[in-house]
């Protein structure tokens, strides 16, 4: 069973529908017990980092997510669900994340580019990972975000994207995969990523 974590924020229905299209056994839940009993975990997200971590802590989901990751369950973080894996975000003040990876979450700063970064953009692969099996380098995916992750460890960076400079758009380490873009909004190529995660799961 793949559990999509419901912490009261985000586009859960579209993520659930994308997984259902692959034929996956999937459920949406806000119960820590379901997360702990899942074979794999998906953390999607749209909204503010502060509210996300607050809701995860209040519902007891933060500890369930960290335990699931620590025991090796396949994990997929999407957009805010990627950012929350890091130590700290600068969104509306400094706020602590789950601290799975070292690094912070700064805001795009530009006088010429539109922020948020919204629309289709290219992902350049930094390393080969199972999540991208059958997907060529340089594919375009759909982004909506004003903040991005800045990992301390370059080894976890699996993909990068250009927007006023190079930023990390995908990370992978052991059982953890995370994407700054939205596969559920990225048409057939995004669905391929979800299919690959289901195979991993």
pLDDT at 94: 82
pLDDT at 9: 77
Q: Check which CATH number belongs to the domain holding 28 and give it.
A: 3.40.50.880
Residue 34 and residue 42: Cα distance in Å, rounded? Answer: 12
pLDDT at 50: 86
pLDDT at 49: 85
Half-sphere exposure of 125 (CA within 13 A, CB side): 13
H-helix segments, the chain: 12-21, 32-37, 49-58, 61-70, 80-83, 187-200
pTM, 2 dp: 0.95
- Contact present, 170 and 180 (Cβ < 8 Å): yes
Phi, psi of 102 (to 5 degrees): -80, 140
- Per DSSP, the residues of 114-154 read -SSEEEEEE-EESS--GGGTT--TT-EEEEEESB-BEES-G
- Contact present, 78 and 183 (Cβ < 8 Å): yes
* Domain of residue 84, residue span: 2-200
pLDDT at 146: 93
Residue 49 and residue 62: Cα distance in Å, rounded? Answer: 13
Query: Structural domain tally of the chain?
Result: 1
Q: In this structure, what token pair is assigned to residue 149?
A: 């992750």
Catalytic residue IDs: 79, 182, 184
Query: Over its length of 201 residues, how does the chain's per-residue pLDDT go in tens digits?
Result: 999 999 887 778 899 999 999 999 999 999 999 999 999 999 998 878 888 899 999 999 999 999 999 999 999 999 999 999 999 998 777 889 999 999 999 999 887 889 999 999 999 999 999 999 999 999 999 999 999 999 999 999 999 999 999 999 999 999 999 999 999 999 999 999 999 999 998
pLDDT at 32: 97
pLDDT at 90: 84
């Amino acid at each position: 069973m793949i559990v999509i974590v419901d912490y009261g924020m985000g586009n859960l229905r579209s993520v659930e529908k994308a997984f259902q299209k692959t034929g996956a056994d999937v459920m949406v839940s806000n119960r820590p017990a379901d997360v702990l009993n899942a074979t794999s975990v998906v953390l999607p997200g749209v909204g503010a980092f502060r509210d996300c971590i607050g809701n995860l802590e209040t519902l007891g989901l933060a500890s369930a997510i960290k335990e699931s990751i620590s025991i090796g369950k396949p994990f997929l973080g999407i957009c805010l669900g990627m950012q929350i894996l890091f130590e700290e975000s600068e969104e509306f003040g400094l706020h602590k994340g789950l601290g799975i990876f070292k690094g912070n979450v700064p805001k795009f700063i530009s006088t010429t580019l539109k922020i948020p970064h919204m629309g289709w953009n290219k992902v350049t692969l930094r390393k080969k990972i199972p999540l991208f099996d059958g997907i060529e380098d340089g594919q375009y995916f759909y982004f909506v975000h004003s903040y991005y992750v800045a990992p301390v460890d370059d080894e976890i960076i699996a993909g990068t994207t250009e927007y006023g400079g190079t930023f990390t758009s995908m990370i992978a380490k052991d059982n953890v995969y995370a994407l700054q873009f939205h596969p559920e909004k990225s048409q057939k190529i995004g669905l391929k990523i979800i299919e690959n995660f289901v195979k991993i799961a």
